[in-house]
A and B are shown apart, each in its own frame.
Chain A
Amino acid sequence: MKRASLLQRGWVIVPILVALVITALLLLAFKVSPVEGFGAMIRGAFGDMSKTLSVTAFWVPMTLAAVGLVVSFTAGLWNIGVEGQIVMGAIAASWLALKLDVPRGLLIPLEMLAAMAAGAIWAGIVAVLKTRGKVHEIFGGLAFNNLAIIFTNYLISGPWQPPEGGTFRGTSPFPDKALLPLLGDSRLSPISVVMVIVAVVGVFLILRGTAWGLKLKALGKNPDSAFLLGVSSERETILALMLCGALAGLGGAVRVTSWFDSLRQSISGGIGYLALLVVMLSAFRVAIVPFVSFFFSAVLNGSITLQLRTQLHSALGGILTGVMVLLVLLFGDIRTLRILPGQRRKKAVPDE
């Protein structure tokens, strides 16, 4: 194994800077000075303690989903269904929060477990559709994302609508005992940060040190060989997706019990899709995921402030992260660009 040179390691900065420049040009095109625009974003993310706590609170569910996605990506699976798994987790937690009358110490763990189970089941359906029905997980996942969102809308406008009448916006607020304890008047719960830490460490250890992790790795790289080496592709595919779904579902529970206090129409609002981008930008390495995810969270929260200050659409944050992922994906590895001298792709020696 060759050691990457400094240039190879540092190169990834270049596409990131280019992404910032492109975003700056967009700001200029809409007659906002980049200094003012980026300034507003940074102030929006870190301007005071409450903003930073808000960034952290947004970061928690996204990171949980992203950590789960590292598992499914390792097994070579495109779990686009993660968005729906977050939503189903949120629905399951909301169900207990609204309907179950037990003490707080019991209710909250039950909510989390139910959310994980719901996310895992939703992912499991997609997995079985893939292994048994030959429906690619991208299509299965996508359909079940939309079904989960439609189901949410049904619940909000139907059985779970607040007594004062359906507003299509959300259920009535949960009782206090169903909500995670929050830090001051922020939307961040310390317990949820612990969940993230456990998830990151857990997934890191699973992939590094367990037989199951090794099987997933083999499955992701060559399913045919993995099968003949004794890896049950069906079982591991289902389990990998279900673990991812469980973590995503947990993220959904955190959304309804700390970020919000009720089940809302866009309960996830694309966090799952963002988590997919986070994992890609992290080069599928779980140790990097929390940091990249924090950056995403800062950008997206910052861009909401940007919208308030400049009337520019907050989609700019999504554009910045999207362009960045695209450029890093395409140009982030200098070795594949074949632009350095003596770096022509080494030709394979043919076997005769």
Chain B
Amino acid sequence: MNDSELVRVLASIVLQATPLTIAVCGETITERAGVVNLSLDGTMLLSAMAGFVAAYESSSVWVGFLVAGLVGALFALIVAFGSIRLRKDQFAVGFVLTLLGDELSAFLGQNYTRIPGPHVSHLGIPLLKDIPILGPIFFDHDPLVYFAFVLVAVTWWWMFRSQPGLQLRSAGERPEAGFARGVNINRLRYLYTIIGGALVGIAGAAYSLDIKLGWSEGLTRGLGWIALAIVIFGGWSPIRGMAGALLFGASKALAAALQRRFPEVSVVAFNATPWVLMILVLLLVGSDATERLIQIVPRRYQRRLRQILRVRAPAALGTVFVPGETGED
């Protein structure tokens, strides 16, 4: 039973969704603090390249992840500095970094494309991996997968069950309130933007050192944008974000399976899946049509349904906070 086709597919979905989960978690942290780091696509490309090169030169995947994390943190620092200190448009800075990261990864990585290098090795968790069905799906992978599980759980707990988490959320929801209670809003925003960026960097390296084994130009192109969309779909919650990443992985696996089943259908239909899916889920969580649908069901189920289907962005997302200029009447 553990070797059945379905279990194998499910296990591969969990593996494939891992980098995306880490990136979504990182960006969720950043946006919960009120900053949009739009540079994800470029950050992931550059850190995928940098992580691979560092791992290749040092023969250690861990050095690779470290360097990738630093690259992600550096890009995030630029976004944070630009928006917090210089008060520039976050979207503009993030977008320029997206393109720059792409070009930099192509240029700096030009001598390292399509060569074999070190990669994360498999490590099943004893006992847990022997659980029927669940074992092979969740616990017979490499350490990065488990890191993603732990990361999501810890992030959720930190955000919703700890004092620093309350402060983090206040920075994204109502910075004036946090400030009045002694929270240094802009310091938190720097901190969480950088942490989020580092996680995005690690996610990038997860592609070149684990999922795709090696670097080639444009390796992760497009996935950063997918991650940004999943953050919204996930309603800025790490757990829902992970569900979104898994759902995305599942739909891709499904598309691949369908393609094998119906070879006569053009490959185009399947390539288009992620993008069509992206629009559909954003429509689902955002559009007024969903709200009208919710109105149809009996009143007492509406609140619950709304929680499942709709999302609400942190109220102060993307805004500038200037201490002392707040609380004006």
Contacts and interface: CB of A to CB of B under 8 A. Distances in A.
Contact of A322 (B99, B222, B325): B99
Interface stretch (B101-109, B165-173, B252-260): B101-109
B130 to A, nearest CB: 42
A143 B329 contact: no
B328 A133 contact: no
B62 interface: no
B149 interface: no
B328 A313 contact: no
Q: Which of A144, A146, A331 has the most CB of B within 10 A?
A: A146
B282 interface: yes
Contact of A143 (B103, B268, B279, B325): B279
B91 interface: yes
B100 interface: yes
Interface stretch (B14-22, B236-244, B283-291): B283-291
Interface stretch (B3-11, B82-90, B119-127, B191-199): B82-90
Nearest to B106: A315
B95 interface: yes
B295 interface: no
B184 interface: no
Contact of A78 (B86, B91, B278): B91
Interface string A141-174: 0111011001101100010000000000000000
Contacts of A139: 225, 228-229, 232, 278-279, 282
A348 B279 contact: no
A127 interface: no
B321 to A, nearest CB: 14
Nearest to B268: A154
A326 B93 contact: yes
Given A132-B288, A147-B272, A347-B325, A326 B96 contact: yes
B282 A142 contact: no
B234 to A, nearest CB: 14
Contacts of B107: 26, 312-313, 315-316, 318-319
Interface of B: 38, 78, 81-82, 86-88, 91-93, 95-97, 99-100, 102-104, 106-107, 110, 222, 225, 228-229, 232, 266, 268, 271-272, 275-276, 278-279, 282-283, 286-289, 325, 328-329
